[in-house]
Amino acid sequence: MVSVETRALTRSFGRIQALRELDLTIEEGSVYALMGPNGAGKSTLIKLLMNLISPSSGYAQLLGMESSRLRGRRLEEIGYVSENQKLPEWMTVEQYLCYCRPFYPKWDRGLEQQLVARFELKPKQRLKRLSRGLRMKVALASVLAFRPRLLILDEPLSGLDPLVRDELLEGLNELKHETTILLSSHDLAEIDSFASHVGYLDGGRLLLSTTMEDLRHRFRRVEATIGRSVEGPATMPSEWTNFTSTATGACWVEREYDEIESVRRAAVLYPGAEITAKSLSLREVFLAIAHAERKAKGGAR
| Contacting range for another protein; rule: CB under 8 A; set: 29-37, 84-92, 191-199, 265-273 | 84-92
| Contacting range for another protein; rule: CB under 8 A; set: 22-30, 94-102, 121-129, 265-273 | 94-102
Answer whether 58's CB lies under 8 Å from 10's CB: yes
Interface positions, 32-71, toward another protein (CB under 8 A): 50-52, 70-71
The yes or no reply on residue 124 touching another protein (CB under 8 A) is: no
The yes or no reply on residue 129 touching another protein (CB under 8 A) is: no
Please report how close the Cβ of residue 78 comes to another protein at its closest, in angstroms: 7
For another protein, give the closer residue by CB, 44 or 51: 51
Interface positions, 204-263, toward another protein (CB under 8 A): none
Q: Binding residue for another protein (CB under 8 A) from 3, 44, 82, 180?
A: 82
Question: Residue 101 CB: number of other CB atoms within 10 A?
Answer: 15
| Contacting range for another protein; rule: CB under 8 A; set: 3-11, 85-93, 118-126, 217-225 | 85-93
| Contacting range for another protein; rule: CB under 8 A; set: 75-83, 157-165, 217-225, 293-301 | 75-83
The yes or no reply on residue 74 touching another protein (CB under 8 A) is: yes
The yes or no reply on residue 90 touching another protein (CB under 8 A) is: yes
For another protein, give the closer residue by CB, 85 or 211: 85
Stretch 137-156: interaction string toward another protein, x if CB under 8 A: --x--xx-------------
**Rounded-to-integer distance, Cα 171 and Cα 221, Å:** 34
The yes or no reply on residue 102 touching another protein (CB under 8 A) is: yes
Task: Give the chain as a 3 state SS string.
Answer: CEEEEEEEEEEEECCEEEEEEEEEEEECCCEEEEECCCCCCHHHHHHHHCCCCCCCEEEEEECCEEHHHCCHHHHHHEEEEECCCCCCCCCEHHHHHHHHHHHCCCCCHHHHHHHHHHCCCCCCCEHHHCCHHHHHHHHHHHHHCCCCCEEEEECCCCCCCHHHHHHHHHHHHHHCCCCEEEEECCCHHHHHHHCCEEEEEECCEEEEEEEHHHHHHHCEEEEEECCCCCCCCCCCCCCEEEEEEECCEEEEEECCCCCCHHHHHHHHHCCCCEEEEEECCHHHHHHHHHHHHHHHHHHHC
Which residue from 15, 275, 175 is spatially nearest to 183, judged by alpha carbons? 175
The yes or no reply on residue 15 touching another protein (CB under 8 A) is: no
The yes or no reply on residue 158 touching another protein (CB under 8 A) is: no
Q: Binding residue for another protein (CB under 8 A) from 32, 80, 194, 200?
A: 80
For another protein, give the closer residue by CB, 151 or 215: 151
| Contacting range for another protein; rule: CB under 8 A; set: 14-22, 76-84, 113-121, 169-177 | 76-84
List contacts with another protein (CB under 8 A).
50-52, 70-76, 78, 80-82, 84-86, 88, 90, 95, 99-100, 102-104, 139, 142-143
